[in-house]
Amino acid sequence: MQKALGPQIQAVDGLANRGLDMIQSRVPYLFEASSGKMMDDATKPANDAANAARSRFQPVAKQFSSQLEAAQTSLHVRSLRP
């Protein structure tokens, strides 16, 4: 069976190699970078946006939290009064 399919397998193998060579010539980064580096590069914009949002909204969240705690304390003190 291998002898009968040999020419077809070689043809498909040649096409696959030419396809990969074309991709590598157009996008060499895919073949040169490690998967970890590609993941870091892919997630960098989202991480940068999350860090920017965190730094902008963290002070507001802290202020809201402290006001909420003060309100809870005030309500708790009022509920203890006869």
30, 24 contact by CB (below 8 A): yes
0.85 cut: is pTM over it?
no
pLDDT at residue 53, rounded to an integer: 94
Q: Which residue has the tokens 């009968």?
A: 4
- What pLDDT, in 10s, does the model give residues 8-48? 889 999 999 999 999 999 988 778 888 888 899 999 999 99
Band the pLDDT of 73: cuts 50, 70, 90: confident
Share the mean pLDDT of the chain: 87
Dist CA 70 CA 38 (whole Å): 47
Query: Furthest-apart CA pair in the chain: how many Å?
Result: 98
pLDDT at residue 82, rounded to an integer: 63
Dist CA 39 CA 27 (whole Å): 16
Band the pLDDT of 75: cuts 50, 70, 90: confident
